Amino acid sequence: MCSRNRRRSLTAETIFKTELAWDVRSAGTEAAARIRVTAGQLGWADVIVVMEKRHKERLQQKFPGEFAAKPCVCFFIADDYEFMDASLLEKLRAKMQEHFSTGG
């Protein structure tokens, strides 16, 4: 999750959606998001990944029951990148490997 689902989370979904080890979806936490996060999406997720601490806080406030039932990982990636930016791709891959290594 990111704020508007236009750069960071959309990039993550784009690059990881073909990975067999993960089934990914992206959404934003703000009203102006391309796809806005819903309680159903949180219910679908095994793990919630956010780009910034404030995204986690927004989800806790808006969806307390659904959010509390899921583990959450914050990647701490600031909104400093464009969609599919090479530096963003590198950071996302490193964070996924760090937190979700498949061991293979």
The pLDDT of residue 59 is above 80: yes
Q: Report the alpha-carbon distance of residue 29 to residue 39 in Å, rounded.
A: 12
**1 domain residue, yes or no:** no
Task: pLDDT band for 77, please (50, 70, 90 cuts).
Answer: very high
**3 domain residue, yes or no:** no
Question: Which comes out higher in pLDDT, residue 104 or 86?
Answer: 86
CA nearest 96: which of 15, 10, 33?
Answer: 15
Residue 48 backbone phi and psi in degrees, to 5: -100, 130
Residue 20, pLDDT score: 84
**34 domain residue, yes or no:** yes
**46 domain residue, yes or no:** yes
**39 domain residue, yes or no:** yes
Number of domains within the chain: 1
> Considering the entire predicted model, what is its pTM?
0.92
**2 domain residue, yes or no:** no
Query: In which domain, by residue range, is 32 found?
Result: 8-100
**30 domain residue, yes or no:** yes
Question: pLDDT digit string (tens) for 19-35?
Answer: 888 899 999 999 999 99
